[in-house]
Amino acid sequence: MTETPSLPLAWTDEGEGPALVLLHGFGAHGGSWKPWLAGLRASYRVVNVDLKGSGRAPKPNDHRYAPADLAGLVRDLVRRLDLREVTLVGHSLGGGIALLAALRLLDDGEGRLGRVVSVAGAAYPQRTPPFARLARHPHLSAWALALLPPRWLVRTVMRQIVVVQDAVTEERVEMYAAPLRDPAARRALIRGGGLVVPDDLETLVARYPDIVVPTLCLWGRQDRVVPLSVGRRLTTSLPNARLVILEGCGHLPMEEHPRESLAALITFLEETEADDATP
């Protein structure tokens, strides 16, 4: 896991081939992609990111945890690693960050952006999930995170957002719970939750048609966190997007249906690579 003081992220960089940058959701970290990693590393260069404040990334005591701040860091990472034709893959809040980072890379005009994948990604004004709404009350959320057992809290949230309850294993629960035992991580989570909705969201939404690269919108039909209606709207807003719907799936496609969701992603990557190679 790599991290640098000047770029408050942590990441692993494994495999060879076209580059993928994986961006996790709110309250998660790079471990959320574990069900996909072996399948992706076989054919792709996989840069799996812990965003600022999450997982093993630095957790500075500042207020720069808004989606725009995180998207800027992702853009900086892509440039630092000198990635070309990169595919940004984001889940939930990470999907929204992927869209913002895509716009920044396009504005740079350096040809670094190849594709975007939004896995149940935030994109439009919507009802904020309870676990994110709590962060709008910093003192209350700090009290709750300090006093409630992390494993109980994670297990409760996961069971509310998935359809496939077997996906809520003790291993996965502990993976998400472990960072919550760190006071700095709890502070960063509260800071990020209070900034989760961009102030200029309407302006950003108006720019979505500028993202002309091939885009996959991958959604669970029964997603109660970022509903399928968001995926449908995003697919119609982006000029070169396709929507894949997973049946019997909630908000965690990688964990609820790892084989089917990974197959959908790889099919998209292979088909769009073939399109790029066509004269």
Q: What is the CATH number of the domain that holds 213?
A: 3.40.50.1820
Q: What Rg do the C-alpha atoms of the chain give, in angstroms? A: 17
Q: For residue 182, is it within any domain?
A: no
For the whole model, what pTM was predicted?
Answer: 0.92
Which of 118-127, 244-253, 257-266, 268-277 has the least mean pLDDT? 268-277
Q: For residue 49, is it within any domain?
A: yes
Q: Is the pLDDT of residue 278 over 50?
A: no
Burial of 152 (0-12, 13-18, 19+ CB in 10 A): exposed
- At 212 the pLDDT is 97
Q: For residue 148, is it within any domain?
A: no
Average pLDDT (133-160) is 76
User: Band of the pLDDT at 193, cuts 50, 70, 90?
Assistant: confident
Q: For residue 143, is it within any domain?
A: no
d(CA 128, CA 243): 23
Q: How many residues are listed for the chain in this entry? A: 279
d(CA 93, CA 247): 22
Taking CB atoms within 8 Å and a gap of at least 24, the contacts of 194-200 are: 194/135, 194/136, 194/138, 195/63, 195/65, 195/66, 195/67, 196/26, 196/67, 196/93, 196/122, 196/128, 196/132, 196/135, 197/125, 197/128, 198/66, 198/67, 198/68, 198/100
Q: Which domain holds residue 255?
A: 2-129+192-277
Which of 9-23, 59-73, 101-115, 126-140 has the least mean pLDDT? 126-140
φ, ψ at 226 (rounded to 5°): -120, 95
d(CA 230, CA 120): 8
- Closest C-alpha among 74, 116, 120 to residue 238: 116
d(CA 244, CA 221): 10
Percent over 90 (pLDDT), the chain: 79
Percent over 70 (pLDDT), the chain: 90
Q: For residue 184, is it within any domain?
A: no
Q: For residue 87, is it within any domain?
A: yes
**Residue 215: which region, alpha, beta or left (left: phi > 0; alpha: psi -120 to 50)?**
beta
- At 87 the pLDDT is 98
Q: For residue 52, is it within any domain?
A: yes
3-state secondary structure of 119: strand
- At 157 the pLDDT is 92
d(CA 22, CA 94): 8
- At 279 the pLDDT is 35
- At 109 the pLDDT is 93
d(CA 121, CA 184): 26
More confident residue, 142 or 88: 88
Q: For residue 61, is it within any domain?
A: yes
Average pLDDT (189-215) is 89
List residues bridging with 118 in a β-sheet. 90, 217
Cβ pair 52, 188 in contact under 8 A: yes
Q: Is the pLDDT of residue 133 over 60?
A: no
d(CA 191, CA 194): 5
Domain count, the chain: 1
